[in-house]
Every structure is written in C-alpha cells, then in structure tokens.
Amino acid sequence: MRKKIVAGNWKMNLTLAQGEQLVNDIVAAGIQLSEGQEVVIAPPFPYLTKVKQLTKNYPGIFVAAQNCASEKSGAYTGEVAADMLQSIGVDYVILGHSERREYFQESNAQLAKKIDQALAAGIKPIFCCGEPLEVRKAETQNAFVAQQLQESLFHLDAAALKNIVIAYEPIWAIGTGLTASAQQAQDMHAFIRAQIAEKYGREAALGLTILYGGSAKPSNAPELFACPDVDGGLIGGASLVAADFTAIVKSF
C-alpha cells in the first residue's frame, strides 16, 4: 500500500507568528490520520525549526523545505544544503517546483544534483513536474513530463526511487484558479506511473506516491483524491488557511 500525502507549500508567505498560528490551528483541528497517511508542512527556511518543534508530538505530520542546494557545502552564499536541513530534522524537500524552474532557471540536470544531495542526506524529495499551458494546448504534455522524469530522476537506482514522491503540477493550474479536471489529473498520473513501471518495474510504480498540485481546494479535493492514481495533493494557496487545509486533509 503506497503512502497518501497532503502537503502544504506556504511558498514565500507569512510571518513567523502567522506561521505558528497556522500550525497551531492545524494541529488543534485534531485530524485523524489513518495508517499510511501523512500531512507535510513546507514553510520558508527560517521557520522550519519552529514548525518541526510544534509538530513533533504529532505522528503523521512531517516538515518539508521548499528547496535545497545542488552542492554539498562550501562557498555558495545564500544557499541551504540538504545536510543542514537534515541536521534540523527536516523530513522532505520540495524540488523542481515550477516557480524555481521559471524564476531561478533550475534545469532538469541541476535538479538531478539536488535530488542526489537530498537523498544522500536522508531527506525525501518531493519532485515536481508539469507542463506549461502552450504544451498542454499542443497536447504534448506527456512527452514534456517524461523528459523531466528522465533527466532528473532516471539516473537513480530502484532502491533510491523508493524515497521519492512525485508531484504533478500543471503550470497552467498553479495559483490561477484553473484546476486540472479529475480526468486530466488521473490521465497524467497514470502516465507517470507507467513511465516508472517501464523503467523500474511494476512493483516500484505501484509503490510510488504521486501528488496533484494546482488550485486544489476543499471543493475539488475529494474528486481529485478519488482518482486511482492520485495519492494526495501539494497545496499552495489553500494551505495558508487552516480551515481549508484541514478540510483538504479530511478528504483524503
């Protein structure tokens, strides 16, 4: 049985006090998680330690960073190494978010290095993939996503792949209010799983957690999560509102 995850990506939002309030409201909601279900909270770097501390007594709640460096250590001013994240108890790291790819020119090759750093540090990558609108319009989204997987993940061996979570985030659906339909999400998730099966075998593919991200909210989460290949969500805007985030978690 593969893990189901609802992850909240706060992006570059909230003060420390607001973040603390949000986490306190989420834990106070008393979410009941079943075996194999996880909640992941991804605050900005300066709040990771605090969020870890606030959630440490809640089994099933984990903490993620939103990025890490592609190098291990050294003269890289402003960067944060995976080993540093590990040393403060971070569990996951979001890598390859479309905003990192677009605004910080992160390439598939650079992301492969970040994936390696995270895995070497014992942190599980949540690897984001997904196509821009023009690719979707041209109906070439499968080839686009397949290339992202090949160039950033397919150098891994089967044992390493077990520590990867994939998040499919169609760029045209992020922060736009446009959600992929449940059918569009299911089709891409099934395609991603088939790509993994082809490379790593059926068992590896069946064990892989694949999240959907892009304007997920309480009203559409139940339908998205009901799709057989959708194993949860990576939530942006709605993760900043405790009531919305907990409602999405409850529709697991």
Catalytic positions: 97, 169
**Contact call for residues 60 and 39 (beta carbons, < 8 A):** yes
Q: Which is nearer to ligand 13P, 42 or 81 (CB)?
A: 42
Closest approach of ligand 13P to the CB of residue 74, in Å: 29
State the residue for tokens 């969020």: 51
Q: How far is the CB of 66 from ligand 13P (least distance, A)?
A: 9
| Residues between 159 and 188 that touch ligand 13P (CB under 6 A) | 169, 174-175
Q: Residue 118 or residue 205: which is nearer to ligand 13P going by CB?
A: 118
- Residue 48: in which H helix or E strand, if any? helix 48-55
User: Between 180 and 205, whose beta carbon lies closer to ligand 13P?
Assistant: 180
Pick 200 or 245: Cβ nearer ligand 13P: 245
Half-sphere exposure of 51 (CA within 13 A, CB side): 30
Q: Please tell me whether 219 is known to bind a ligand.
A: no
Annotated ligand binding at 96? The verdict is no
Size of the site for ligand 13P (CB under 6 A): 14
Least distance from C-beta 158 to ligand 13P, angstroms? 27
Q: Which of residues 6-65 bind ligand 13P (CB under 6 A)?
A: 9
Question: Kind of pairing, strands 92-95 and 232-235?
Answer: unpaired
Sort 98 into a burial class: Cβ within 10 Å, 0-12 / 13-18 / 19+: buried
Q: How far apart are CA 171 and CA 173, in angstroms?
A: 5
Q: How far is CA 54 from the centre of its chain?
A: 21
DSSP codes joined into one string, 142-205 = HHHHHHHHHHHTTTS-HHHHTT-EEEE--GGGSSSS-PPPHHHHHHHHHHHHHHHHHHH-HHHH
Considering only residues 80 through 139, tell me which ones interact with ligand 13P, judged by CB under 6 A: 97
Q: For residues 200 and 212, which CB has a smaller minimum distance to ligand 13P in the complex?
A: 212
User: Residue 7: which of 49, 46, 38, 53 has the closest Cα?
Assistant: 38
Minimum distance, C-beta of residue 229 to ligand 13P, in the bound complex (Å): 18
Distance in Å, CB of 213 to ligand 13P, minimum: 4
Report the site for ligand 13P in 209-238 (rule: CB under 6 A).
213-216, 234-238
Query: Does 237 count as an annotated binding residue?
Result: yes
Is 215 flagged in the annotation as binding?
yes
232 SS3 class: strand
Q: Give the burial class of 115: count Cβ atoms within 10 A of its Cβ; 0-12 exposed, 13-18 middle, 19 or more buried.
A: buried
Residue nearest to ligand 13P (CB): 236
Residue ranges for the known binding site are 9-11, 175, 215, 236-237
Residue ranges for the known binding site for substrate are 9-11, 175, 215, 236-237
Contact footprint for ligand 13P (CB under 6 A): 9, 97, 169, 174-175, 213-216, 234-238
